Amino acid sequence: MEIRQRQTGPITILELAGRLTVNDQPGMLKAAVASALDGGARHVLLDLSGVFYIDSTRLGEIIASHVTVTRRGGHLRLVGTPPRISELFAIAGLEGVFERYATAEEASKQLN
């Protein structure tokens, strides 16, 4: 897994790429989200357009990140979710948990 980060005002966009598996460095996504929030971001957009696989461990980390951002009064939104990853969220019963958008620009609207 690779994570690239960019911030625009109160919004941090985390661009994830590759396979998100248990073999990745533990807590990598959680640390990136915490760093964004500690750095002044209020909202986090997870750009999943470059992700082609997520295992249950990393799915749990995405859920934990959502809880962390929400508890701090922000929003975590998913961007560019590939169909296969969308199916995973549906199978896991998480369709209604995450707000999903086609682009970061669309996801950023009304977040300030």
Round the average pLDDT of the chain to a whole number and report it.
93
Q: Given this model, what pLDDT does residue 29 score?
A: 93
- CA-CA-CA-CA torsion sign (88, 90, 93, 96): positive
What pTM was computed for the model? 0.93
* Structure confidence by residue, pLDDT tens digits, 13-39: 999 999 998 888 888 999 999 999 999
Helices (H), 1-112: 28-38, 56-71, 83-91, 104-108
Number of domains in the chain: 1
Per-residue pLDDT tens digits for 66-105: 999 999 999 999 999 999 999 999 999 998 899 999 999 9
Q: What pLDDT does 112 receive?
A: 65
Please list, in sequence order, all residues whose beta carbon lies within 8 angstroms of the beta carbon of residue 98, skipping any fewer than 6 positions away. Answer: 66, 76, 77, 78, 89
Domain limits at 41? 2-108
Amino acid at 56: S
Residue 67 identity (one-letter amino acid): V
The predicted pLDDT at position 111 comes to 87
What CATH number is attached to the domain comprising 70?
A: 3.30.750.24
What pLDDT does residue 1 have? 87
For residue 67, give every residue at least 6 positions away whose Cβ sits within 8 Å of its Cβ, in sequence order, or none: none
d(CA 10, CA 44): 9
Q: Which structure tokens are listed for 35?
A: 């760093």
